[in-house]
Structures are given as C-alpha cells and as structure tokens.
Chains A and B, each alone.
Chain A
Amino acid sequence: MTALWLAIGFWLAAWGVNVWLSGSRFGRTGPGRALVPILFGVTVLVLWEGLVRGLGIAGVILPAPSVIAARIAGSLPTLWQDFVQTILKGAIPGFLIGSGAAFLTAIAIDRSPFLQRGLLPIGNFVAALPIVGLAPILVMWFGFDWQSKAAVVVVMVFFPMLVNIVAGLQACDRMQRDLMSTWGASYLQSLVKLRLPAAMPFIFNGLKIASTLALIGAIVAEFFGSPIYGMGFRISTEVGRLGLDMVWATIAVAALAGSVFYGLITLIERWVTFWHPSQRH
C-alpha cells in the first residue's frame, strides 16, 4: 500500500506545483509553459504505477508503466520490425496513394458535373463498407504482405479526402473567381493560382483525419492475415498468449507514431496556410 500512498502524495505535490506555476511569472516563460503539461504527464504515469503496485492489479488487466517500458526496451528489434511493416509499408503508402487518388478524382469531379453526380455517391458507398468486411477481401486479393494493408488504408482514406478537396475547391468567393475570369485565366491557371491555395485549409483538415484513419486501417487489416510480424499481428497474437505487456508496448509505439505523423501534418499546415485566420497569431 505504501506505493499507492506515495503516488497519491506525488500527485498532490505536483498538483500544487502546477497551480503555483500557472499563477507565477515563471509559468509565462517558455520553459515554464512546457513544464506544466510535462508535470501532468509524469503525474499520470506515477499515479498509474502506484495504483497497479499498491492495489496489486494483475498484469493481464493493466501492466505498470515500468513493466511496459522494460518490455519496450527489451524488444526494440521486434517493435522496429513491426513499425516498418505496418507504418512505413502499410499506412504511409496507403495514405499517399489514397490521398493522391482522391485529389485526382476531386479534380475530375470539379471539371464535370456528370462525374459529381456519379462519383460522390460511389465514394460514399465505399466509405460505408465496414472495414472488418473489406479487409479480409482485400487480403485475398492482394496477399498477406503490406500491399493488402496499403489497399485497406487507400479505401479508408479516399472518401474523407475526396469530400474535403471537393468542398475546398469551391471555397473561394465569387469575386475572386470573377477576377480570374476578367484576366482571361485558363482553367489550369485559375486552379493553380486561386482555387488550390484557397482549398488548402480544407485539404489539411482531410489529411489530419486521414492520418489517424490510415493507422487504424493498417493495424486492423493485419488481424485478417499477415506475415509473422506487423503491429496488428503482434497485438492479436500477444493477446492470445496473454502477453499484455507486449500489447501495451505496441500500442505505445502506435500512439507515438500517430502523434508524430499528425504533428508533421500540422507543421506543414501551419507553413502552407499561414494566411488563414485560424493560423494567424
């Protein structure tokens, strides 16, 4: 029980420090601002550790953070191999292919009202298919390796991207389009110099949604057949062996990878759409 009381003590102390920090002058400086969330994160881990140890919770139900950390440190080659297979080979190529295909389709839809009536409902239909039904079929079609995972990701990413790009291409106002027209601009000139820049805030919204979908798709697709590595494979087999610490380790890697992926997109967004009211500071 001492572990639990120590953890609760740490929690109260950290709480006190954060209250003081947010009111103090130091809390408004750069390092002070960074310290508050860091302290919060550390407190969550300490409390978690204390609860698990103090109450003697079984590792299958909830392993302590220290156990998960030890597992990560002890299986780095395996985790790296899984990461390469699922994220670098499954999620990212699928994300790029799906977003690229959505972009080309959006341009085609933009050029032709006929396609707008035909393709959007089909995209909608595909997006409504349940992934647990689709994934086994795509595994049958494209094999056990990463190609089928990328295919699942393409299907998941395609529709949200398409909807966002189509909406984005219609985002510029009438006067801006009239101006292009008075200058005798061609479709391509108007697309590149007006409509695509104006669509960027929408496109980045789509990319952010798609980035999380890509991760989910790539991991879940491995449940339906994969080589003997990959994050989805690892989770499903380790659950069967009650190796919950390895499941948690894999989840930690997935969470980290997902955050980095999302953060990268946000950084690029800030750079590309600096002019948008939501990005001006």
Chain B
Amino acid sequence: MTDIAATVAPTVIGRSLWGDAWARLKANRAAMFSLYYLALIGVVSVFGPWFVPHQYTTIYADYVRMPPSLSAYPKADMIETALTEAIKRMRVDIKEWRQEGNQVFVTVKSTRPIDDRNIRYLDRSDAFDDTKIESKSPDGLEVTMSASIKQQYFLFGTDNTGRDLLSRTLMAGRISLAIGLLAGVVAVVIGVVYGAAAGFAGGKVDEVMMRIVDVLYSLPFIFFVIMLVVFFGRNFVLMFLAVGAVLWLDMARIVRGQALSIRRQEYVQAAEAMGVGQRGILLRHVIPNLLGPVVIYMTLLVPQVIILESFLSFLGLGVQEPMTSWGVLISVGAKNIGTANWLLLFPAFFLVSTLFALNFVGDGLRDALDPRDR
C-alpha cells in the first residue's frame, strides 16, 4: 500500500476557486480591457496632478474660459491684449512694441518720470515673465522693457475662474474614486457583518434584523442621504462614511441569503458530522463561499457610490469648492454648455468611461465567479 501511494505522486495540480476565476476573467476581453483602463484612470488620477504644471486651485486671471488647445497659450493675438492690459495698470502709454521670437520689447512713455518698480505689472500678467529694463531715456519719461512670453499649455482648457481643467479633472478623479472606494468598503463591511450575523443567528433574531432592513428600505433613499447631509454638514469624509452606512442594505440581504444557503449545504453537514468546529466551518467553508458575491457586489457598489457622490455634488450638497469631484465639474459644465462645452465634455467622459469600465469588470467577475456556470 505504501509503495503505491509513493509512486502515484500528485501529478495533477488542482486549480483553486480563485485561480479558476482569474483564468475565466483573463479570457473575458471586455473585462480585462476595462480592468486595465481602470488601473490607468486610477494611476493618472492619483499621480497625474503632480505632473501637470498647474495646480488645481491656481487661478489664471488672463485665461478665463480658454478652449482646450494643443498649442501653448498665449496665442499670437492675445499678446497685444495682455500687454496693453498690463501697461494700462502702470498708468503709462505705449509708444511702440514688437515681438522677437519668445520676447516682447515695449517702450512706454509718460508725462511724469516712470518708476522702475512698474515692471512688476508685466510680471504679474499670466502671459509674461522675466521682465527687465533695457534702456531708459535721460529724463526718465521713456522706458524700454523686455519680457519673455510665458508658454503655458491648457490641454483641457480652463474654467470660469481661469483654472486649468486638466488638473481639476484629475484631482476630481482622485476624490471621486477615493469616495467610491471608501463608501463602498464601509457599506460592504456593515452589510457583511450584519447579514452574516442574521444568517447565522437564524430564527427570531434573523426575523427581527431583517424586518429592520425592510423598514429602512421603505423610506425614500434620498431622504436618508439628505438627512445625513443635514447632520454632518459639508464635511465630505464624514458624509461619505455615512452614505456608505446607508448603502449596506442590499449587501446585508445578499450575505444573509448566502449564509443561510451555505449552512444548509451537504458539505457543511458533512464537516459537522466529522466533528469540525463552528470556527473551522466558518473559516474553511462559509467565508470563502461568501467572498464571491461580496466581491461582485462591491464592484457594482463602487459605481453606485460614484454616481451618488456626483448627484449630491451636482445638487451642491457634496464636495465643496475649491476641492472638486467629477460631479462638481459636471454640474459647472451643465451650467455653461452654451459658452464652454468642454467644461461638461471632459469630466463627463472621465466619469462615464469609468462607470462603463466598472460595470464591465463587475459583469466579468460575476461570470468568472458564478459557480452555476461551470
């Protein structure tokens, strides 16, 4: 007997539940593409704002509502406007000006001697940099200054107050994704604990716990959310913890149902008959079998939370300025579609594509983890 056992070495490597699911997921092209896309959006949102040359809060007063462009600002026709604006602030008159490559030379004259410190008005303009005094007339009534043109790129354009939309969109992605994950995790934790407790306790306790869920279901959902906003004010971290705490109802139902059905499975009865303790059954059988539905539901919950966050921000209840989220940007964009449609289109594209990707990943995971398909 021992000889046989020694010769029949385990040549077949079994695949675990998760290995199997991963293989199925890898075969699903839409889901894998969405997974890569989500990773890309995540990386770009988290690290992107550090690489964009503009801060998401910096206001460029000279570049309000600039349309998106691949070439640098200021455009050729904007230099003269910016120059006359700056010179006007110096309270002097332009005698002549010319542009040489990346430099402008301007000669100004006045009826009173011109103070050297006036050059700061050119530096203050968003279009110019490194202003120097080239020459001065002996009586001080005429000064020639030179300044280099500050090249700035606004790939997504700028918003109503002259902030770079690219950095704002990325920053918004950070917030929206973080809120989605945060509230999603809170909802899953509460739902799993509550549902599992009800499922295991069974009987009267289960009955009462589930009636409570039913009652909470019957109140309009938006009522809860608005009450939470009222309670927690505009503190968005607290608020989204609370929103997560409202979204756990579905999770609790799913987990309870699963827990009840797993307990009745024959392999659990077999394990009980073999003398495996409660703890062993929980760790070895119940939790691994619960994980599938929980993971699937979590991927469907995150887009729900992101939509909810955008919805609240759209109503002005969520994330507050100058902090931003996709919902905030879309709400600003929706108010400016007539004059600046890029304010709507870029954030909307980011939001919608992320929601699509999350849905495809959720569907892919469901197909991969659903044991009925095997």
Tell me, yes or no, whether A binds B. no
* A residues with CB within 8 A of B: none
* B residues with CB within 8 A of A: none
